[in-house]
Amino acid sequence: MTICKTTAVAAESVADRIAAAVAAKPNVVLGLATGGTMEPVYKALVRRSAAGLSFSAVRVFALDEYVGLPPDHPQSYRVYLRERFVDHVGLDPSRFHVPRGDLSAEVAASEYETTLRQHGPVDLQLLGIGRNGHIGFNEPGSPFASRTRLVALTASTRAANARFFAPGHVPRHAITMGIASILEARRLLVFAIGPEKSDAVWAMVMQPPTVDVPASAVRLHASAEIVLDEGAAGQVA
Ligand code: F6R
């Protein structure tokens, strides 16, 4: 576990790890998360790209996508990743994969698992953590054997994301890579910032793995690293 003094230093340290993976293997397969936590990481990676690091052969799998939004919806995770990262680092669009929230969920989930099998495993999976301990959109209670599937979002997750949507338009469902799909990555990199994540971080690292805290599944992985700022580390430092 790495604890950094500030959020900015922590984000740079996460970006350093991802940049090193890209430098070591130009066609690395990255699994990427969205959300506020990751914004400074993508900013730092765009700077690395401008400084000469090539992302042209990198492949990206997004962890999740809302159901019912067209792919070009400004709050879709496809657009999030394009606007903050993909469109600024010269990534080949055919190497950018996001679950299709506009298809039947069953078709979209099975297509995604097929694409993951075809191009995987993911070399480095970046993960954020929800206040309730979710990873991707695997909410508490998600089986550790779960794969990419349709999930209902909990009230707490919908409340946390409500600021991005017009009232009454917060999505109720998402397609997410499952916990078993996530754990198939060669390496996991969990990044959490801010005191509002400190309870979830405590539950992830201090308790035996339990489906009540989906993030605790990362402890079953042989190569999982956790980077925190001091706020998120408040209860484990
Ligand atoms: C989104 C995702 C989620 C977020 C988590 C934290 O792709 O995987 O698990 O990482 O909800 O979100 P923020 O960073 O907005 O607090």
- Residue 71's pLDDT is what? 83
Orientation angle between helical segments 39-50 and 77-84, nearest 10 degrees: 40
- Mark whether 132 is an active-site residue: yes
Q: Which of 7, 34, 204 for mutating ligand 1's site (highest number of atoms within 8 Å of CB)?
A: 34
- Residue 157's pLDDT is what? 86
Which is the closest atom of ligand 1 to the Cα of 196? Answer: 16
- Mark whether 12 is an active-site residue: no
Give the CA count within 13 Å in the CB-facing half-sphere of 124.
Answer: 24
Distance CA 175, CA 167 (A): 22
- Give the tokens for residue 94: 């055919």
Distance CA 117, CA 103 (A): 20
Place of tokens 């604890």: 3
Place of tokens 């754990």: 183
pLDDT tens profile 187-222: 999 999 999 999 999 999 999 999 999 999 999 999
pTM score over 0.85: yes
- Residue 132's pLDDT is what? 93
Catalytic annotation, pick one of 65, 134, 229, 230? 134
- Ramachandran sector of residue 53 (left: φ over 0; alpha: ψ -120 to 50; beta: rest): beta
- Residue 217's pLDDT is what? 98
- Residue 70's pLDDT is what? 86
Catalytic annotation, pick one of 12, 64, 65, 230? 64
Which is the closest atom of ligand 1 to the Cα of 137? Answer: 9
Q: Which of 30, 39, 43, 63 for mutating ligand 1's site (highest number of atoms within 8 Å of CB)?
A: 63
Average confidence (pLDDT) per 10 residues, the chain, 237 residues: 98 98 98 97 98 98 94 93 98 97 92 97 98 96 98 90 90 97 98 98 96 98 98 95
- Residue 140's pLDDT is what? 96
